[in-house]
Structure 1
């Protein structure tokens, strides 16, 4: 996949929001179902092993859907999605973190999340 412009990445993030929202919901369900299966775990009203396996399979599908756009899913809890881009000739990743209102951050590709800055 190629590089995103800032506008393309913002549009792609908007299109991905229903997918990302579903990942967040399924992530919580899968965590509850997994905890209920552990020794001493309380039964979950969400179900048992079949529901856990279904949630895991759906999460795999959704994560693949994110990656298929050219975006990079870098974190699962919290969700972290990067969009490869170029700002003024510098390779960067436009960076969305679960809880961000919009795509407003970037970091240089060679520095990583610690170098996260607001988009100009």
Structure 2
């Protein structure tokens, strides 16, 4: 059975999640910065197996995977790593929705229906 977050509960997790998301976004920036090197490694995996560059890349992706797993352990979903977007399953007015938080926002102030995504964000009624 899925866990439904209250707004208070989801906001209470942000101090734990924000540093993890900041680290994820830093890893993302590093990978983007290295995209040409990464592409070269991935294009020739047979001769690059076991190379220091391949080993470092694998370690980088393992670090990203660990951070994603840590965030998922809190019960929220990483929706977009480009902007640091998280969703928390919740219920508003008897409807299942996602409480929606984007990295840089102080607190969760928006939600959207399960099928609309970020484009359907609306302010949470107070």
TM-score band, normalised by shorter chain: 0.7 to 0.9
The answer on 1:106 being equivalent to 2:99 is: no
Which of the pair is proportionally richer in helix?
Answer: 2
Tell me how far 1:37 sits from its aligned partner. 4.1
Tell me how far 1:33 sits from its aligned partner. 2.4
Residue 19 of structure 1 corresponds to 20
Structure 2 unmatched runs, 5+: 41-51
Q: Do the aligned residues in 2 keep the contact of 1:92 with 1:108 (CA within 8 Å)? A: yes
Q: Do the aligned residues in 2 keep the contact of 1:33 with 1:52 (CA within 8 Å)? A: no
Structure with the greater relative contact order (CA < 8 A, sep ≥ 6): 1 or 2?
A: 2
Provide, for residues 73-99 of structure 1, a one-character-per-residue CA deviation record: whole Å limited to 9, x for no partner.
111112210000011211110001233
Structure 1 unmatched runs, 5+: 40-46
Tell me how far 1:32 sits from its aligned partner. 1.9
Determine which structure has more spread, i.e. the larger CA radius of gyration: 2
After TM superposition, list the pairs within 5 Å mapping 1:1-120 onto structure 2: 1-38=2-39, 48-120=53-125
Q: Do the aligned residues in 1 keep the contact of 2:18 with 2:103 (CA within 8 Å)? A: no
How many residues are paired up? Answer: 113
- Taking structure 1 as the reference length, the TM-score comes to 0.82
Secondary structure at the aligned position of 1:24 is classed as: helix
Aligned mates of 2:5, 2:24 — CA distance in 1: 23
- Taking structure 2 as the reference length, the TM-score comes to 0.79
C-alpha RMSD of matched pairs (Å): 1.8
Tell me how far 1:3 sits from its aligned partner. 0.5
